[in-house]
Amino acid sequence: MTCLIMGATGFVGRHLRAIMPRETTRWGTRRPVAAARASGPGPWVACDANDEASLRKALEGVDSVAYLVHGMGSGGDYEAREAEAARLLARMAEAQGVGRIVYLGGVCPEGHPSHHLQSRARTGRLLASGRVPVVELRASMIVGPGSDSWHLVRDLSYRLPVMVLPRWLRSRSAPVAIWDVVEALKAALEGAGEAGIYSLPGPHILSSEEILRQVADCGGLKTRALRVPMPAPGLSKWWIRGVTGAPWPIVRELVEGLIQDLEPEHPPFWDQMEGYAPMDLKTAVVRTLAEERRRVSPLADAWEHFVARQFTTRGVVP
């Protein structure tokens, strides 16, 4: 069975590459030469989700596709580009005889979800509008090194001596570890589960406030909380932007996604993986922090730890 990972250089794609067999997997990216320079040689193939010729060639002889492409934070009308790419893949996968598409989407709450969550849900519908069976896996916050939402939570937990807690931080979700997400993707690519929509929840449903506190605890930080009557995240985007190093378009989209609960609404995909149990948040956070420390030099790690402690104890927001 040959699998194609579309979006292989992204956060989820990098982790999925690590557990998929190289002999039967293609790593799709728009810039395969640059990817090989940055990540080493591999089964890289040119694959542009919005280019028909590129996609046709990448899909030749492929049995299943992991669709990990999204445009949040890329600027412009990324929602239109995502919709166009989904329509193209549905059409080209059918033409090339692909047996299954596995799509990683996001939990989409009722009411008025954020733009990027609406776009994720629309992408799933467009992919499923074709004749190729689609397994859509919906996750809320994914915890792991390289995750934008994780970086946001980590920075808020580590850099604020007093946690400012607007009302919208009471919203609830089921954070899941990246290592569990990619195991689910691998199982789906290999045939687990019928076509349809599944949830990828962590084992516990937590409020955003509880998530922040657990992350701080895992880092050995003692923080105080200050509740403020901000009814919506509009003003909060600005102080969050000053605390986190995430790009402004990412901050804006992620904060908008926190307004509503992101609790799982579909059957958990774990039921399709016999005996599988996803790790809890604390285990995921500890593993993530350990991997992040290994990626920096000892001197840089010591300096980051020292600075975080100084800001925490002296009441300064960097």
Q: What Cα–Cα distance (Å) separates residue 309 from each residue in 72, 187, 219?
A: 33, 42, 11
Q: Please answer whether residues 211 and 153 qualify as being in contact, where contact means their C-beta atoms are separated by less than 8 angstroms.
A: yes
- Cα(208)–Cα(28) distance, integer angstroms: 34
Q: What Cα–Cα distance (Å) separates residue 19 from each residue in 128, 180, 181, 252?
A: 26, 11, 12, 32
What's the pTM?
A: 0.84
Nearest to 251 by CA among 116, 140, 130, 62: 116
Q: How many CA atoms lie within 13 A of 89 on its CB side?
A: 34
* Eight-state DSSP code of residue 81: H
| 287, two tokens | 């593993």
The pLDDT, as a whole number, for residue 130 is 92
The pLDDT, as a whole number, for residue 311 is 34
- Please tell me whether residue 72 adopts helix, strand or coil conformation: coil
* Eight-state DSSP code of residue 112: S
Q: Which residues contact 34 (CB under 8 A, 6 or more apart)?
A: none
pLDDT (tens digit per residue) in 28-79: 999 999 999 999 998 999 999 999 999 999 999 999 999 999 865 555 577 8
Q: What are phi and psi of 155, to 5 degrees?
A: -65, -40
Q: Would you list the domain boundaries of the chain? A: 3-144+173-204+262-272, 206-261+280-314
- Mean pLDDT per 10-residue section of the chain, whose length is 318 residues: 95 96 96 93 94 96 95 67 94 97 88 74 94 96 89 76 60 93 98 97 90 84 59 54 62 63 90 96 94 66 41 31
The radius of gyration of the chain from alpha carbons, rounded to an integer in Å, stands at 20
First vs last Cα of the chain: how many Å apart? Answer: 50
> 3-144+173-204+262-272: which CATH architecture?
3-Layer(aba) Sandwich (3.40)
pLDDT (tens digit per residue) in 157-168: 776 555 555 665
The pLDDT, as a whole number, for residue 306 is 43
- Cα(179)–Cα(135) distance, integer angstroms: 19
Count of Cβ atoms closer than 10 Å to residue 22 Cβ: 10
- Cα(67)–Cα(189) distance, integer angstroms: 10
Residue 287 is inside which H or E element, if any?
Answer: helix 281-294
Q: Which residues contact 232 (CB under 8 A, 6 or more apart)?
A: 168, 259
Nearest to 255 by CA among 280, 281, 235, 237: 237
The pLDDT, as a whole number, for residue 300 is 46
Q: Which residues contact 121 (CB under 8 A, 6 or more apart)?
A: 105, 106, 108, 113
Q: Please answer whether residues 52 and 92 qualify as being in contact, where contact means their C-beta atoms are separated by less than 8 angstroms.
A: yes
Q: What are phi and psi of 262, to 5 degrees?
A: -120, 50
The pLDDT, as a whole number, for residue 177 is 97
Residues, the chain, total? 318
